[in-house]
Chains A and B, each alone.
Chain A
Amino acid sequence: MAAAKVKPTKMKTKKVFSDYVISVTIFIVMTVVFVTTLYPFLNSLAISLNAASDTVRGGITIYPRQFTIDNYKNIFTNEKIYRAYGVTIARTVIGTIGGLLVTGAMSFALSRKTLVFRRFYTIMCLIPMYFGGGLIPTYIITRSLGLVNNFWVYIIPSLVNIWNMILMRSYFAGVPDALEESARIDGASYFTVFFRIFWPVSTPIIATIALYFGVQHWNDWYVPTIYMIGREDLKPMTCVLLSIINEAAYAERMAAAGASAEAIGHAAQGVKTVNSRSITMATMIVSIIPIIAIYPFLQRYFIKGIMIGSIKG
C-alpha cells in the first residue's frame, strides 16, 4: 500500500481516486494469480491422497477428506512406472551433465576475445535461432544417424542449446581477465583455465543452466513422441503417465459397463478401490515432485541468470 511508504518529503502527496482503483486492481490480480496457480496443484494433491471411493462423491478441494496412500501404492504396482522413472532420471542426469560440459565449454571459448574465428562461430550459433529445417528434415537426418529408437536421441541433439550458450557466454565474459592471464602465464592450458578457474567461480550461472537443462529433459514429451515410436521400454514418465492414465480410464469404463472381471483381465486389478481420477492425480504428482521440490531453492540463481542474459543480450 502506498500509505505504508513514509518518506521524508516536504510535500505529502494526496491520494487520488485512481490510486485506490489501482490498489484494488492489483490486489485482485495478485489474488487471482495466486489462487489459480496454486489451487490446481493442491487440488490434485488432495485427490491423490483421498480414498478413491470417496473422491467419486466429488467436492474435494485442497485437503483430503479420507486420507489414504492407496492410490500411490496402486500406481507403484505398475512396473511400467519404475522403468519410465529410470529412463527419465537417466536422461536428465546424463543430459544435464553433458549439456553443461559441451555448452559450457563452447560458451567459455566463445567468451574469449582471442579465439580465432570467433565471429564466424558466433554467427553460426545465431542463425539457427531464426531459421531451421523443420520437423521432417530434422527427423530424416536424425534417423540416418541411427538415433531413432535409440536412448542417445535424448542426449546428443540437446547437448548444445544456443539460448543457454548465450547466457553462459555473457557470464564468462564478465569474469575478470586477470584470472585467465595469470594462469596462462603460469603455463596452464585452456582446459585448466576453464575447468579449474572459471568453473568454480561460476556457480550461479551453472546452477541456472543445470536447472534449464534438467527441466527440459524431465518434461520433454516431444522427442520420445517423434523418435521413440518403436521402443515402449525407453519412453520417459511424460509418455508413460499418459498410458497409465488411459489404462485406468479404460478399466473404469469397462467396470462401469458391467463387463465381467475375466473380460477385463489384468487391466481391472484394483479397480474396486480406485478410480481413474485418483490414479491420474497420483501419477501426475509422482512425475512432478522432483522439480517442484528443487526449483524454489534455485530461485535466486535463475533470477540472476536471467538478469545476466537480459543485460548483455
Chain B
Amino acid sequence: MKKSSAEAAIQGANPKPNAFRQFLAQWDLQLLVLPGIILLFIFSYLPIYGVVMAFQEYKIGDVVGASQWVGFRWFIELFKTRELPGIIRNTLVISILNLTIGFVMPIIFAIFLNELRVAPIKKTVQTISYLPHFISWTVCALLLFDLLGTDGSLTEMLVTLHILPEKVNFFQKGEWFWGVALISNIWKELGWNAIIYVSAIAGIDAEMYEAADIDGATRAQKMWHITVKSIKPTIILLLIMNVGGVLNANFDQIMMLTKQMTNSFLTPYAQVIDTYSYRMGLALMRFSYGSAVGLLKSVINFILLLTANKIADLAGETALV
C-alpha cells in the first residue's frame, strides 16, 4: 500500500518527462494511431471550429473563421422564416416516430424470432430480414415508388382489402409522408437492428425459462418477465446511442423519397432541418446561413439527448423497484 502510493506520488509529481520518454520509446505504436487521429482532427474537429461561420459572413475564398463578424444576424433571419415552424415540426415528428415506434419494432421482432422453435425457419426469416439493410435508399425509394404508386401492387392490395377506398399515389399525399417515412425505415432496418437483441436474448440463462415452466407461467408472462426484463440494459444503451444520430439518419431517405425535394406534394411535410440546411447552404450557396441552420440542429440534438437520458434514468428507477 505505502509503496504503491509513494510510486503514484512520484509519477503524479513528475509525469511529463516520463510520458514523453515512453512516447518516444513506443513511436511505432503511436505511428499506428496517429493517421486516424489526424484524419479525425481534420474531418471532425475542424468542422466544429467551422461553426463560427454561422456568426460571420462567409464568402467563397475566405479563410474559415476570418470572415466579417455579423453576430446573430443569420439566426434572427432564420427565426423570422415562415417555413421554420414546419421544418422543426417535421424534424421532431419524424425523429420521435423513429425513436419510439421505429425503436420498439426490432425489439418485438427479436423476441418473436426467439419464440420460433424450428431452427431452419428462424434462420431463413432472419437472413431475409437483413436484406433491405444492404440496399441503398436510392434503390429502396425506387421500390417504394413502384409499390405505392397509383398502380402499385401494394396500393392495389390495400384497395382489394378495402383498407383504401380507391387507388391513390402515396407520394402525392403529403399528410401520409410521415407514415411512409416511418414504415419504410422500419422495413429497411428491422432485421438488422434486431441482431443485437437476438444475441442479447441468446445470452439469457435457459434455466430461468425452465423454472418459469415449473411455476406454470404462461408464454406471455415468460416473454415479458424473462426476455424483456433481461435485455432491458441493452435496450436502454441502444436508445441512448440512437438518439445521438437520429437527426442525421434521415437525410438520404427523405431526399430520395421526395425526389431531392422536387416533389411539391411532400415538401411541407418532408422538409427537415438537414434538407433545409442543404438547400440554403449548398444549392443556394448561402454558406453562413446554412451553417446557422445546422447549428440549430445540433441544439435540438442535444435536447433530445438529455431527454433520452432522463427517460433512461426513469426506466432505471422502475427496474430497481
Contacting pair A44 B146 (CB below 8 A):
yes
Contacting pair A141 B43 (CB below 8 A):
yes
Closest chain B residue to A29 by CB distance?
A: B112
Contacting pair A190 B220 (CB below 8 A):
no
Across the interface, which residues of A come within 8 angstroms of B291, CB to CB?
A: 134, 136-137
A106–B109 CA distance with the chains assembled, in angstroms: 35
A247–B244 CA distance with the chains assembled, in angstroms: 39
Contacting pair A136 B281 (CB below 8 A):
yes
B214: interface (CB < 8 Å):
yes
A176: interface (CB < 8 Å):
no
Q: Say whether, besides A11-B216, A13-B213, A132-B48, A137 and B274 are in contact (CB < 8 Å).
A: no
Give the contact stretch, choosing among A72-80, A109-117, A255-263, A267-275: A109-117
Which of B36, B187, B219 has a CB less than 8 Å from the CB of A102? B36
Number of residue pairs spanning A and B whose beta carbons lie under 8 angstroms apart: 275
| Shortest Cβ distance from residue B228 to the other chain A in the assembled complex, whole angstroms | 13
| Shortest Cβ distance from residue A296 to the other chain B in the assembled complex, whole angstroms | 6
| Among A132, A287, A292, residue most surrounded by chain B Cβ atoms (within 10 Å) | A132
Give the contact stretch, choosing among A63-71, A89-97, A199-207, A218-226: A218-226
A48–B223 CA distance with the chains assembled, in angstroms: 43
Q: Mark B201-220, 1 if CB is under 8 A from A, else 0.
A: 00000000010011011111
| Shortest Cβ distance from residue B223 to the other chain A in the assembled complex, whole angstroms | 7
Closest chain A residue to B115 by CB distance?
A: A26
Closest chain B residue to A20 by CB distance?
A: B219
Contacting pair B294 A136 (CB below 8 A):
yes
Which of A165, A219, A303 has a CB less than 8 Å from the CB of B36? A165
Contacting pair A132 B146 (CB below 8 A):
no
Across the interface, which residues of B come within 8 angstroms of A138, CB to CB?
A: 43, 47, 50
Contacting pair B29 A109 (CB below 8 A):
yes
Contacting pair A194 B40 (CB below 8 A):
no
Contacting pair B244 A135 (CB below 8 A):
no
**A240-255 CB contacts (< 8 Å) to partner B:** 241-242, 245
Contacting pair A13 B216 (CB below 8 A):
yes
A162–B19 CA distance with the chains assembled, in angstroms: 26
| Shortest Cβ distance from residue B170 to the other chain A in the assembled complex, whole angstroms | 14
B196: interface (CB < 8 Å):
yes
Across the interface, which residues of A come within 8 angstroms of B282, CB to CB?
A: 135-136, 139, 226
Across the interface, which residues of B come within 8 angstroms of A141, CB to CB?
A: 42-43, 46-47, 50, 64
Q: Say whether, besides A105-B35, A132-B44, A159-B39, A41 and B109 are in contact (CB < 8 Å).
A: no
Give the contact stretch, choosing among B81-89, B96-104, B125-133, B174-182: B125-133
Contacting pair A106 B32 (CB below 8 A):
yes
Across the interface, which residues of B come within 8 angstroms of A287, CB to CB?
A: 136, 139
| Shortest Cβ distance from residue B297 to the other chain A in the assembled complex, whole angstroms | 6
| Shortest Cβ distance from residue A33 to the other chain B in the assembled complex, whole angstroms | 6
Interface size class of B (residues with CB under 8 A): 35 or more
Contacting pair B298 A136 (CB below 8 A):
no
Contacting pair B128 A134 (CB below 8 A):
no
Q: Say whether, besides A138-B47, A241-B139, A125 and B40 are in contact (CB < 8 Å).
A: yes
Interface size class of A (residues with CB under 8 A): 35 or more
Which of B19, B35, B134, B294 has a CB less than 8 Å from the CB of A137? B294
Contacting pair B39 A22 (CB below 8 A):
no
B72: interface (CB < 8 Å):
no
Across the interface, which residues of A come within 8 angstroms of B307, CB to CB?
A: none
**A173-214 CB contacts (< 8 Å) to partner B:** 189-191, 194
Q: Mark B66-88, 1 if CB is under 8 A from A, else 0.
A: 00000000000000000000000
Across the interface, which residues of A come within 8 angstroms of B11, CB to CB?
A: none
Across the interface, which residues of B come within 8 angstroms of A239, CB to CB?
A: 138
Across the interface, which residues of B come within 8 angstroms of A156, CB to CB?
A: 39, 43
Contacting pair B147 A40 (CB below 8 A):
yes
A240–B298 CA distance with the chains assembled, in angstroms: 32
Closest chain B residue to A28 by CB distance?
A: B112
B37: interface (CB < 8 Å):
yes
Contacting pair A221 B136 (CB below 8 A):
yes
Contacting pair A110 B33 (CB below 8 A):
yes
| Shortest Cβ distance from residue B261 to the other chain A in the assembled complex, whole angstroms | 12
Across the interface, which residues of A come within 8 angstroms of B169, CB to CB?
A: none
A220–B251 CA distance with the chains assembled, in angstroms: 12
Across the interface, which residues of A come within 8 angstroms of B213, CB to CB?
A: 7, 9, 11, 13
Closest chain A residue to B288 by CB distance?
A: A136
A171: interface (CB < 8 Å):
no
Across the interface, which residues of A come within 8 angstroms of B39, CB to CB?
A: 102, 156-157, 159-160
A219–B134 CA distance with the chains assembled, in angstroms: 8
Contacting pair A5 B117 (CB below 8 A):
yes
Please give 6 more A-B residue pairs, beta carbons under 8 A apart, in addition to A7-B210, A142-B43: A26-B116, A130-B244, A140-B58, A159-B36, A190-B29, A310-B199
**A positions within 8 Å CB-CB of B:** 1-2, 4-5, 7, 9-11, 13-14, 16, 18-19, 22-23, 25-26, 29-30, 33-34, 36-38, 40-41, 43-44, 58, 61, 102-103, 105-106, 108-110, 112, 114-117, 121, 124-125, 127-142, 144-145, 156-157, 159-160, 162, 165, 189-191, 194, 215, 218-222, 225-226, 238-239, 241-242, 245, 277, 280-281, 284, 287-288, 291-292, 295-296, 299, 302-303, 306-307, 310, 313
Pick the 6 closest A-B CB pairs, nearest first. A133-B47, A134-B294, A137-B50, A106-B36, A219-B136, A109-B33
**B positions within 8 Å CB-CB of A:** 19, 22-23, 26, 28-33, 35-37, 39-51, 53, 58, 64, 108-109, 112-113, 115-118, 121, 124-125, 127-132, 134-139, 142-143, 146-147, 151, 153, 187, 190-191, 195-196, 198-200, 210, 213-214, 216-220, 223, 234, 237, 244-245, 251-252, 255-256, 274, 277-278, 281-282, 287, 290-291, 294-295, 297-298, 301, 305
Can you give 8 contacting A-B residue pairs, CB < 8 Å?
A9-B214, A102-B39, A128-B48, A133-B47, A137-B49, A141-B47, A221-B136, A310-B199
